[in-house]
Amino acid sequence: MKVIRDPIHGYIELDPLTLSIIDSPQMQRLRRLSQLGLSNLVYPGANHSRFEHCLGVMHLATMLTGKIDTVTEDEKEELRVAALLHDVGHGPYSHVTENLTKLYTRQHHEDVREILKKGELGEILSDNGLNPATIEDHIQGKTDMGKILNSEIDVDRMDYLVRDSHYTGVAFGLVDHVRLINEMKFYENNLVVNSGGVKAAESLLVSRFLMHPSVYYHHVSRIAETMFTRAVDDLIQKKSLNPFDLRKMDDSGLLEMIRNDEGYAGELAQRLDNRKLYKRALYVGFDEVGEGVLKHRKNIKRVEAEIAEEVGIEPESVLIDIPRNPEIAEMKALVKVKNRMLRLDEASHVVATLEQAHRDNWKMGVYTPTEYREAVGKAAKNFFEVKRTTKQFRLTEIEE
């Protein structure tokens, strides 16, 4: 047994099987995938990788299964391997390229069976009697054991919230994951939280709520990621890039392809390299545009072209970012209180109030170069029929 030092969890133990998996090319690629996409343009310290996150998830999964008597040693080994490999299907910059991968290949980052069956990784799993289909089922949360990795409250969330908070320096990742793990168990084939773990579960949801606008949906990150996505899409449209290759590439390889392009993608790469980002021409929430705006998610390029035509500029100078309808899956986590099974939002008033607050954080953006900002903003307001709302000032915005 070997140990490595992790800045979040301290020492993480590695047995011969996990060591051999870590040394495979498929796992080593994760060292070169940014965990937080382009968030380092906002938080300079946000340069951690999917690799270390996977080690952390494996560590927490091992802690949790070690406290459950009904789990066999073989099941513990399977879940440990699944935890280590749960992000092996990510493409460059993690979630930044995921929508493009799904659009062009119909593959989600959790669809990993083909990756697990091939090459050195496939040989390691086969030599140790591990079935790629079963490992994928665990990763996708289709098995009872897999709920530890992929469910309403899982060890994946526990690790990334604390880890992302640490590297960004945003002090919102205050999740008592040790307490939460100690209060989790299987009951009637469901992974549940004991009543003694409700406060720890609340801390996880509050942390996620605060991290969402501050880190995951920070407007600068969204602008940069939208620009990057369009650059990659441009390469795919020009057949310079095969979308099926994305899950084999790393951040630097894809970025170099974009930099070498002599057209639109190359222009965006130059802007990203020099942090000359597009600016917000419009940035509004549901209170100003209504939930009907979500219907435009399927026709974003058409809307961009229409706004650009009204302003008299090229369609590439208008980028629209409409995030999906916000959801808090963790609210459906089950809590065992006095032999009764309750949803977390039924057991906690704190959690029940977060759903509307989470929706209030939702923002859509229309981005454009600085010189077109005013004209594009006016055209976008007209197109989306933006309502006037009463401005609520924060104390930091009020000048003396």
Residue 263 has pLDDT above 60, yes or no: yes
Q: Which pLDDT belongs to residue 391?
A: 55
Categorize the per-residue pLDDT at 390 as very low, low, confident or very high, splitting at 50, 70 and 90. Answer: low
Sequence spans of domains, the chain: 2-169
Categorize the per-residue pLDDT at 343 as very low, low, confident or very high, splitting at 50, 70 and 90. Answer: confident
End-to-end Cα spacing for the chain:
62
- Please tell me which residue, 339 or 8, carries the higher pLDDT value: 8
Q: Which pLDDT belongs to residue 172?
A: 77
Q: Which pLDDT belongs to residue 329?
A: 78
Residue 179 has pLDDT above 50, yes or no: yes
Closest alpha carbon to 384 in 280, 279, 278, 282: 282
Reduced to 3 states, what is the DSSP secondary structure of residue 391?
coil
Residue 393 has pLDDT above 60, yes or no: no
CA-CA distances (angstroms) from residue 248 to 26, 90, 109, 374?
8, 9, 12, 41
Quick check: 255 and 269 in contact, CB under 8 A? yes
The mean pLDDT of 166-188, rounded to a whole number, is 88
Residue 374 has pLDDT above 60, yes or no: yes
229-245 pLDDT, tens digit each:
999 999 999 999 999 99
The two three-digit tokens of residue 194, written as one number:
């004991």
Residue 399 has pLDDT above 50, yes or no: no
Hey, what CATH topology would domain 2-169 get?
Answer: Hypothetical protein af1432 (1.10.3210)
This model's pTM is above 0.85 = yes
The mean pLDDT of 332-340, rounded to a whole number, is 84
Distance CA 78, CA 213 (A): 35
Query: What average pLDDT does the chain have?
Result: 93
The mean pLDDT of 112-133, rounded to a whole number, is 96
Residue 70 has pLDDT above 60, yes or no: yes
Residue 307 has pLDDT above 90, yes or no: yes
Categorize the per-residue pLDDT at 89 as very low, low, confident or very high, splitting at 50, 70 and 90. Answer: very high
